[in-house]
Structure 1
Amino acid sequence: MVCTRIMLVTFLLLSWLAAPSCSWGSREGNSYVKDACSVTRYQNLCIHSLSSFSNTAKRDPSKWARAGISVTIGVTKNTTRYLIALKKKNTMKGRNRVAVLDCVEEFQDALDNLHKSLGVLRHISGELFDAQMGDVTTWISSAITDEDTCLDGFEGQKGKAIKKLASKVTKVGYFTSNALALVTKLASAGP
Protein backbone atom coordinates (compact mmCIF):
# COMPACT_ATOMS: atom_id res chain seq x y z
CA MET A 1 0.00 0.00 0.00
CA VAL A 2 2.80 2.42 0.95
CA CYS A 3 4.73 1.38 -2.16
CA THR A 4 1.70 2.11 -4.35
CA ARG A 5 1.33 5.58 -2.81
CA ILE A 6 5.02 6.34 -3.32
CA MET A 7 4.80 5.25 -6.95
CA LEU A 8 1.67 7.36 -7.47
CA VAL A 9 3.28 10.44 -5.87
CA THR A 10 6.44 9.89 -7.92
CA PHE A 11 4.41 9.55 -11.11
CA LEU A 12 2.42 12.71 -10.38
CA LEU A 13 5.56 14.64 -9.48
CA LEU A 14 7.34 13.55 -12.67
CA SER A 15 4.26 14.40 -14.74
CA TRP A 16 4.07 17.83 -13.15
CA LEU A 17 7.78 18.48 -13.72
CA ALA A 18 7.56 17.40 -17.35
CA ALA A 19 4.47 19.46 -18.13
CA PRO A 20 6.05 22.95 -18.36
CA SER A 21 8.66 21.88 -20.90
CA CYS A 22 6.10 19.98 -22.97
CA SER A 23 3.71 22.87 -23.11
CA TRP A 24 6.51 25.31 -23.91
CA GLY A 25 7.61 23.15 -26.84
CA SER A 26 4.03 22.87 -27.97
CA ARG A 27 3.54 26.65 -27.91
CA GLU A 28 6.76 27.16 -29.86
CA GLY A 29 5.73 24.50 -32.38
CA ASN A 30 2.31 26.16 -32.71
CA SER A 31 4.09 29.43 -33.42
CA TYR A 32 6.05 27.84 -36.28
CA VAL A 33 3.06 26.24 -37.96
CA LYS A 34 0.87 29.32 -37.48
CA ASP A 35 3.55 31.50 -39.03
CA ALA A 36 3.98 29.12 -41.98
CA CYS A 37 0.22 28.79 -42.52
CA SER A 38 -0.44 32.52 -42.25
CA VAL A 39 -0.11 32.82 -46.05
CA THR A 40 -2.65 30.08 -46.81
CA ARG A 41 -6.31 30.50 -47.64
CA TYR A 42 -7.45 27.62 -45.41
CA GLN A 43 -5.36 28.37 -42.32
CA ASN A 44 -7.11 26.08 -39.84
CA LEU A 45 -6.77 23.14 -42.21
CA CYS A 46 -3.12 24.04 -42.77
CA ILE A 47 -2.35 24.29 -39.07
CA HIS A 48 -4.15 21.04 -38.28
CA SER A 49 -2.57 19.06 -41.12
CA LEU A 50 0.99 20.39 -40.79
CA SER A 51 1.44 20.83 -37.03
CA SER A 52 3.40 17.58 -36.77
CA PHE A 53 6.11 19.14 -38.98
CA SER A 54 6.76 22.07 -36.60
CA ASN A 55 9.82 20.62 -34.87
CA THR A 56 11.57 19.77 -38.13
CA ALA A 57 10.45 22.62 -40.38
CA LYS A 58 10.62 25.46 -37.81
CA ARG A 59 11.04 28.63 -39.91
CA ASP A 60 12.31 26.99 -43.11
CA PRO A 61 9.96 27.85 -46.04
CA SER A 62 11.44 25.03 -48.12
CA LYS A 63 10.55 22.41 -45.50
CA TRP A 64 7.05 23.84 -45.09
CA ALA A 65 6.49 23.77 -48.86
CA ARG A 66 7.63 20.13 -49.00
CA ALA A 67 5.43 19.26 -46.02
CA GLY A 68 2.44 20.94 -47.65
CA ILE A 69 2.91 19.04 -50.87
CA SER A 70 3.56 15.74 -49.08
CA VAL A 71 0.34 16.02 -47.09
CA THR A 72 -1.52 17.03 -50.26
CA ILE A 73 -0.17 13.97 -52.06
CA GLY A 74 -1.51 11.76 -49.27
CA VAL A 75 -4.98 13.32 -49.37
CA THR A 76 -5.02 13.22 -53.18
CA LYS A 77 -4.03 9.53 -53.19
CA ASN A 78 -6.87 8.71 -50.77
CA THR A 79 -9.41 10.51 -52.94
CA THR A 80 -8.01 8.85 -56.07
CA ARG A 81 -8.49 5.44 -54.40
CA TYR A 82 -12.05 6.45 -53.53
CA LEU A 83 -12.73 7.46 -57.15
CA ILE A 84 -11.23 4.23 -58.50
CA ALA A 85 -13.39 2.21 -56.09
CA LEU A 86 -16.44 4.18 -57.21
CA LYS A 87 -15.52 3.43 -60.83
CA LYS A 88 -15.16 -0.29 -60.08
CA LYS A 89 -18.47 -0.49 -58.21
CA ASN A 90 -20.17 0.70 -61.37
CA THR A 91 -23.02 2.24 -59.33
CA MET A 92 -23.05 5.50 -61.25
CA LYS A 93 -24.68 5.43 -64.63
CA GLY A 94 -24.79 7.56 -67.75
CA ARG A 95 -23.34 11.05 -67.46
CA ASN A 96 -22.20 10.47 -63.87
CA ARG A 97 -20.30 7.32 -64.87
CA VAL A 98 -18.43 9.28 -67.56
CA ALA A 99 -17.72 12.03 -65.02
CA VAL A 100 -16.25 9.50 -62.56
CA LEU A 101 -13.99 8.11 -65.29
CA ASP A 102 -12.85 11.66 -66.08
CA CYS A 103 -12.25 12.35 -62.39
CA VAL A 104 -9.99 9.33 -62.05
CA GLU A 105 -7.92 10.57 -64.97
CA GLU A 106 -7.83 14.15 -63.64
CA PHE A 107 -6.72 13.00 -60.20
CA GLN A 108 -4.00 10.79 -61.63
CA ASP A 109 -2.71 13.82 -63.56
CA ALA A 110 -2.89 15.92 -60.37
CA LEU A 111 -0.86 13.28 -58.52
CA ASP A 112 1.78 13.26 -61.25
CA ASN A 113 2.10 17.05 -61.00
CA LEU A 114 2.33 16.97 -57.21
CA HIS A 115 5.01 14.25 -57.31
CA LYS A 116 7.03 16.23 -59.87
CA SER A 117 6.75 19.30 -57.64
CA LEU A 118 7.95 17.45 -54.56
CA GLY A 119 10.84 15.95 -56.53
CA VAL A 120 12.03 19.40 -57.59
CA LEU A 121 11.66 20.81 -54.07
CA ARG A 122 13.87 18.04 -52.72
CA HIS A 123 16.69 19.22 -55.00
CA ILE A 124 16.48 23.01 -54.96
CA SER A 125 19.47 24.69 -56.58
CA GLY A 126 20.43 28.32 -55.96
CA GLU A 127 21.28 29.00 -59.59
CA LEU A 128 18.14 27.28 -60.92
CA PHE A 129 15.85 28.45 -58.12
CA ASP A 130 13.63 30.80 -60.13
CA ALA A 131 13.10 28.29 -62.94
CA GLN A 132 12.41 25.51 -60.43
CA MET A 133 9.88 27.63 -58.56
CA GLY A 134 8.21 28.51 -61.86
CA ASP A 135 7.88 24.81 -62.72
CA VAL A 136 6.58 23.85 -59.28
CA THR A 137 4.05 26.69 -59.26
CA THR A 138 2.84 25.69 -62.72
CA TRP A 139 2.48 22.02 -61.75
CA ILE A 140 0.59 22.74 -58.54
CA SER A 141 -1.68 25.21 -60.35
CA SER A 142 -2.31 22.50 -62.93
CA ALA A 143 -3.22 20.06 -60.13
CA ILE A 144 -5.78 22.58 -58.85
CA THR A 145 -7.21 22.87 -62.37
CA ASP A 146 -7.41 19.06 -62.61
CA GLU A 147 -9.32 18.89 -59.32
CA ASP A 148 -11.73 21.64 -60.41
CA THR A 149 -12.26 19.97 -63.79
CA CYS A 150 -13.23 16.75 -62.02
CA LEU A 151 -16.26 18.47 -60.52
CA ASP A 152 -17.37 20.02 -63.83
CA GLY A 153 -18.85 16.72 -64.98
CA PHE A 154 -21.21 16.63 -61.99
CA GLU A 155 -22.58 20.14 -62.39
CA GLY A 156 -26.31 20.21 -61.71
CA GLN A 157 -26.32 16.62 -60.43
CA LYS A 158 -27.74 15.69 -57.01
CA GLY A 159 -27.71 12.78 -54.64
CA LYS A 160 -25.73 11.45 -51.69
CA ALA A 161 -22.99 9.87 -53.78
CA ILE A 162 -22.44 13.07 -55.77
CA LYS A 163 -22.41 15.18 -52.61
CA LYS A 164 -19.86 12.87 -50.95
CA LEU A 165 -17.65 12.86 -54.05
CA ALA A 166 -17.84 16.66 -54.37
CA SER A 167 -16.94 17.07 -50.69
CA LYS A 168 -13.87 14.85 -51.03
CA VAL A 169 -12.70 16.56 -54.22
CA THR A 170 -13.26 20.02 -52.75
CA LYS A 171 -11.24 19.10 -49.65
CA VAL A 172 -8.33 18.04 -51.86
CA GLY A 173 -8.59 21.43 -53.56
CA TYR A 174 -8.20 23.14 -50.18
CA PHE A 175 -5.04 21.17 -49.41
CA THR A 176 -3.62 21.89 -52.87
CA SER A 177 -4.39 25.58 -52.54
CA ASN A 178 -2.53 25.65 -49.22
CA ALA A 179 0.44 23.83 -50.76
CA LEU A 180 0.57 26.40 -53.57
CA ALA A 181 0.57 29.23 -51.02
CA LEU A 182 3.48 27.62 -49.16
CA VAL A 183 5.41 27.23 -52.43
CA THR A 184 4.69 30.86 -53.29
CA LYS A 185 6.03 31.87 -49.88
CA LEU A 186 9.20 29.88 -50.58
CA ALA A 187 9.54 31.48 -54.02
CA SER A 188 9.30 34.98 -52.52
CA ALA A 189 11.81 34.09 -49.75
CA GLY A 190 14.41 33.01 -52.30
CA PRO A 191 17.02 30.26 -52.22
Structure 2
Amino acid sequence: MVCTRIMIVTFLLLSWFTAPSCSWASRKENNYVKDACSVTRYKDICINSLSSYSNTAKRDPSKWARAGVSVTIGVTKNTIRYLIGLKKKNSMKGRNRVAVLDCVEEFQDALDNLHKALGVLRHISSDSFITQMDDVTTWISGALTDEDTCLDGFEGQKGKEIKMLARKVTKVSYFTSNALALVTKLASAGP
Protein backbone atom coordinates (compact mmCIF):
# COMPACT_ATOMS: atom_id res chain seq x y z
CA MET A 1 0.00 0.00 0.00
CA VAL A 2 2.80 2.42 0.94
CA CYS A 3 4.68 1.34 -2.18
CA THR A 4 1.66 2.14 -4.34
CA ARG A 5 1.34 5.61 -2.80
CA ILE A 6 5.02 6.30 -3.40
CA MET A 7 4.65 5.23 -7.02
CA ILE A 8 1.63 7.49 -7.47
CA VAL A 9 3.38 10.47 -5.86
CA THR A 10 6.49 9.80 -7.96
CA PHE A 11 4.40 9.59 -11.12
CA LEU A 12 2.59 12.84 -10.30
CA LEU A 13 5.85 14.64 -9.55
CA LEU A 14 7.45 13.41 -12.75
CA SER A 15 4.37 14.46 -14.72
CA TRP A 16 4.41 17.87 -13.11
CA PHE A 17 8.14 18.42 -13.80
CA THR A 18 8.01 17.26 -17.41
CA ALA A 19 4.81 19.06 -18.42
CA PRO A 20 6.24 22.61 -18.41
CA SER A 21 9.15 21.66 -20.65
CA CYS A 22 6.80 20.03 -23.16
CA SER A 23 4.60 23.08 -23.34
CA TRP A 24 7.67 25.33 -23.53
CA ALA A 25 8.97 23.32 -26.50
CA SER A 26 5.64 23.46 -28.32
CA ARG A 27 5.41 27.20 -27.66
CA LYS A 28 8.89 27.65 -29.10
CA GLU A 29 7.94 25.62 -32.21
CA ASN A 30 4.75 27.66 -32.50
CA ASN A 31 6.86 30.83 -32.38
CA TYR A 32 8.99 29.57 -35.28
CA VAL A 33 5.98 29.14 -37.54
CA LYS A 34 4.43 32.41 -36.38
CA ASP A 35 7.67 34.23 -37.13
CA ALA A 36 7.95 32.62 -40.56
CA CYS A 37 4.30 33.36 -41.38
CA SER A 38 4.47 36.96 -40.17
CA VAL A 39 5.29 38.08 -43.73
CA THR A 40 2.31 36.32 -45.31
CA ARG A 41 -1.06 37.78 -46.15
CA TYR A 42 -3.07 34.75 -44.97
CA LYS A 43 -1.37 34.08 -41.64
CA ASP A 44 -3.89 31.57 -40.23
CA ILE A 45 -3.63 29.40 -43.34
CA CYS A 46 0.15 29.67 -43.21
CA ILE A 47 0.39 28.75 -39.54
CA ASN A 48 -2.07 25.86 -39.81
CA SER A 49 -0.50 24.39 -42.93
CA LEU A 50 3.16 24.82 -41.95
CA SER A 51 3.22 24.23 -38.19
CA SER A 52 4.43 20.64 -38.68
CA TYR A 53 7.63 22.04 -40.24
CA SER A 54 8.63 24.01 -37.12
CA ASN A 55 10.98 21.33 -35.75
CA THR A 56 13.00 21.15 -38.94
CA ALA A 57 12.72 24.66 -40.37
CA LYS A 58 13.15 26.65 -37.15
CA ARG A 59 14.49 30.05 -38.32
CA ASP A 60 15.74 28.98 -41.76
CA PRO A 61 14.00 31.06 -44.48
CA SER A 62 15.09 28.57 -47.15
CA LYS A 63 13.34 25.68 -45.41
CA TRP A 64 10.21 27.75 -44.83
CA ALA A 65 10.12 28.76 -48.51
CA ARG A 66 10.44 25.10 -49.57
CA ALA A 67 7.74 24.09 -47.10
CA GLY A 68 5.40 26.80 -48.38
CA VAL A 69 5.86 25.75 -51.99
CA SER A 70 5.55 22.04 -51.12
CA VAL A 71 2.28 22.54 -49.29
CA THR A 72 1.00 24.68 -52.17
CA ILE A 73 1.85 21.90 -54.61
CA GLY A 74 -0.25 19.48 -52.56
CA VAL A 75 -3.24 21.83 -52.44
CA THR A 76 -2.89 22.52 -56.17
CA LYS A 77 -2.85 18.79 -56.98
CA ASN A 78 -6.03 18.29 -54.93
CA THR A 79 -7.73 21.08 -56.82
CA ILE A 80 -6.66 19.62 -60.16
CA ARG A 81 -8.24 16.30 -59.12
CA TYR A 82 -11.41 18.17 -58.20
CA LEU A 83 -11.46 20.02 -61.55
CA ILE A 84 -10.85 16.81 -63.50
CA GLY A 85 -13.70 15.23 -61.54
CA LEU A 86 -15.97 18.11 -62.57
CA LYS A 87 -14.90 17.65 -66.18
CA LYS A 88 -15.62 13.91 -66.08
CA LYS A 89 -18.91 14.42 -64.25
CA ASN A 90 -20.05 16.47 -67.24
CA SER A 91 -22.54 18.43 -65.14
CA MET A 92 -21.46 21.81 -66.47
CA LYS A 93 -22.63 22.73 -69.93
CA GLY A 94 -21.81 25.32 -72.57
CA ARG A 95 -19.64 28.21 -71.45
CA ASN A 96 -19.09 26.70 -67.98
CA ARG A 97 -17.84 23.43 -69.45
CA VAL A 98 -15.31 25.30 -71.59
CA ALA A 99 -14.29 27.29 -68.50
CA VAL A 100 -13.68 24.05 -66.55
CA LEU A 101 -11.49 22.71 -69.36
CA ASP A 102 -9.53 25.98 -69.37
CA CYS A 103 -9.28 25.84 -65.59
CA VAL A 104 -7.74 22.36 -65.68
CA GLU A 105 -5.15 23.62 -68.15
CA GLU A 106 -4.41 26.74 -66.07
CA PHE A 107 -3.95 24.66 -62.93
CA GLN A 108 -1.64 22.20 -64.68
CA ASP A 109 0.47 25.17 -65.79
CA ALA A 110 0.44 26.48 -62.22
CA LEU A 111 1.56 23.09 -60.95
CA ASP A 112 4.43 23.01 -63.46
CA ASN A 113 5.54 26.45 -62.30
CA LEU A 114 5.41 25.40 -58.65
CA HIS A 115 7.47 22.28 -59.37
CA LYS A 116 10.09 24.38 -61.19
CA ALA A 117 10.24 26.74 -58.22
CA LEU A 118 10.62 23.89 -55.72
CA GLY A 119 13.36 22.32 -57.85
CA VAL A 120 15.40 25.50 -57.68
CA LEU A 121 14.70 26.02 -53.97
CA ARG A 122 16.14 22.57 -53.27
CA HIS A 123 19.46 23.56 -54.86
CA ILE A 124 20.08 27.14 -53.78
CA SER A 125 23.57 28.34 -54.64
CA SER A 126 25.21 31.47 -53.24
CA ASP A 127 26.87 32.01 -56.65
CA SER A 128 23.57 32.33 -58.53
CA PHE A 129 21.23 33.18 -55.64
CA ILE A 130 19.80 36.38 -57.14
CA THR A 131 19.07 34.73 -60.50
CA GLN A 132 17.53 31.73 -58.76
CA MET A 133 15.29 33.93 -56.60
CA ASP A 134 14.20 35.91 -59.67
CA ASP A 135 13.27 32.65 -61.43
CA VAL A 136 11.43 31.24 -58.41
CA THR A 137 9.52 34.48 -57.88
CA THR A 138 8.56 34.57 -61.57
CA TRP A 139 7.30 30.97 -61.50
CA ILE A 140 5.26 31.39 -58.32
CA SER A 141 3.82 34.67 -59.62
CA GLY A 142 2.95 32.83 -62.82
CA ALA A 143 1.17 30.14 -60.82
CA LEU A 144 -0.82 32.83 -59.04
CA THR A 145 -1.77 34.37 -62.39
CA ASP A 146 -2.83 30.96 -63.72
CA GLU A 147 -5.08 30.44 -60.69
CA ASP A 148 -6.68 33.87 -61.09
CA THR A 149 -7.16 33.29 -64.83
CA CYS A 150 -9.03 30.06 -64.06
CA LEU A 151 -11.86 32.03 -62.48
CA ASP A 152 -12.16 34.49 -65.39
CA GLY A 153 -14.24 32.01 -67.41
CA PHE A 154 -16.87 31.84 -64.66
CA GLU A 155 -17.33 35.57 -64.23
CA GLY A 156 -21.00 36.46 -63.85
CA GLN A 157 -22.03 32.80 -63.55
CA LYS A 158 -24.03 31.44 -60.61
CA GLY A 159 -24.75 28.06 -59.15
CA LYS A 160 -23.68 25.76 -56.35
CA GLU A 161 -20.89 24.04 -58.32
CA ILE A 162 -19.46 27.34 -59.50
CA LYS A 163 -19.41 28.72 -55.94
CA MET A 164 -17.65 25.56 -54.73
CA LEU A 165 -15.13 25.77 -57.57
CA ALA A 166 -14.49 29.46 -56.86
CA ARG A 167 -13.89 28.71 -53.15
CA LYS A 168 -11.41 25.95 -53.94
CA VAL A 169 -9.52 28.02 -56.51
CA THR A 170 -9.42 31.04 -54.21
CA LYS A 171 -8.09 28.87 -51.37
CA VAL A 172 -5.24 27.68 -53.60
CA SER A 173 -4.40 31.27 -54.46
CA TYR A 174 -4.10 32.03 -50.71
CA PHE A 175 -1.56 29.22 -50.33
CA THR A 176 0.32 30.42 -53.41
CA SER A 177 0.35 33.99 -52.13
CA ASN A 178 1.80 32.77 -48.83
CA ALA A 179 4.46 30.72 -50.65
CA LEU A 180 5.43 33.80 -52.65
CA ALA A 181 5.76 35.84 -49.44
CA LEU A 182 8.01 33.16 -47.90
CA VAL A 183 10.18 33.14 -51.05
CA THR A 184 10.38 36.94 -50.95
CA LYS A 185 11.50 36.70 -47.32
CA LEU A 186 14.21 34.24 -48.36
CA ALA A 187 15.30 36.53 -51.21
CA SER A 188 15.68 39.45 -48.83
CA ALA A 189 17.55 37.32 -46.25
CA GLY A 190 20.14 36.20 -48.79
CA PRO A 191 21.88 32.86 -49.31
- Specify if TM > 0.5: yes
Superposed CA deviations along residues 155-191 of structure 1, whole A, max 9, x for unmatched, are: 0011110000000000000000000000000001111
Equivalent position of 1:36 in the other structure: 36
Cα offset, 1:15, TM superposition = 3.6
Task: Give me the TM-score of the superposition, normalised by structure 2.
Answer: 0.94
Equivalent position of 1:162 in the other structure: 162
Equivalent position of 1:108 in the other structure: 108
Cα offset, 1:50, TM superposition = 0.6
Cα offset, 1:9, TM superposition = 6.1
Equivalent position of 2:90 in the other structure: 90
Cα 1:21–1:98 shift into 2, 3 Å: same
Q: In structure 2, how many angstroms separate the alpha carbons of the residues matched to 1:104 and 1:55?
A: 35
Equivalent position of 2:137 in the other structure: 137
Cα 1:135–1:14 shift into 2, 3 Å: same
Cα 1:188–1:4 shift into 2, 3 Å: same
Superposed CA deviations along residues 57-96 of structure 1, whole A, max 9, x for unmatched, are: 0110000000000000010010110000110111100000
Q: Percent identity?
A: 85
Equivalent position of 2:26 in the other structure: 26
Q: Does residue 125 of structure 2 align to residue 125 of structure 1?
A: yes
Cα 1:17–1:159 shift into 2, 3 Å: same
SS of equivalent residue, structure 1 residue 154: coil
Cα 1:3–1:97 shift into 2, 3 Å: farther
Cα 1:9–1:102 shift into 2, 3 Å: farther
Tell me the amino acid that sits aligned with residue 183 of structure 2: V
Cα 1:168–1:10 shift into 2, 3 Å: farther
Cα offset, 1:13, TM superposition = 4.6
Q: How many residues align?
A: 191
Cα offset, 1:19, TM superposition = 1.5
Cα 1:91–1:126 shift into 2, 3 Å: same
Task: List 4+ stretches of structure 1 deviating above 2 A.
Answer: 1-18
Where structure 1 has 5 or more consecutive residues not aligned to the other structure, the ranges are: none
Q: Does residue 52 of structure 2 align to residue 52 of structure 1?
A: yes
Tell me the amino acid that sits aligned with residue 135 of structure 1: D
Cα offset, 1:18, TM superposition = 2.7
SS of equivalent residue, structure 1 residue 62: helix
Superposed CA deviations along residues 91-148 of structure 1, whole A, max 9, x for unmatched, are: 1000000000001000000000000100000000001100000000000000000000
Cα 1:56–1:92 shift into 2, 3 Å: same
Q: In structure 1, how many angstroms separate the alpha carbons of the residues matched to 2:176 and 2:137?
A: 11
Which is worse superposed, 10-19 or 40-49? Answer: 10-19
Cα offset, 1:21, TM superposition = 1.3
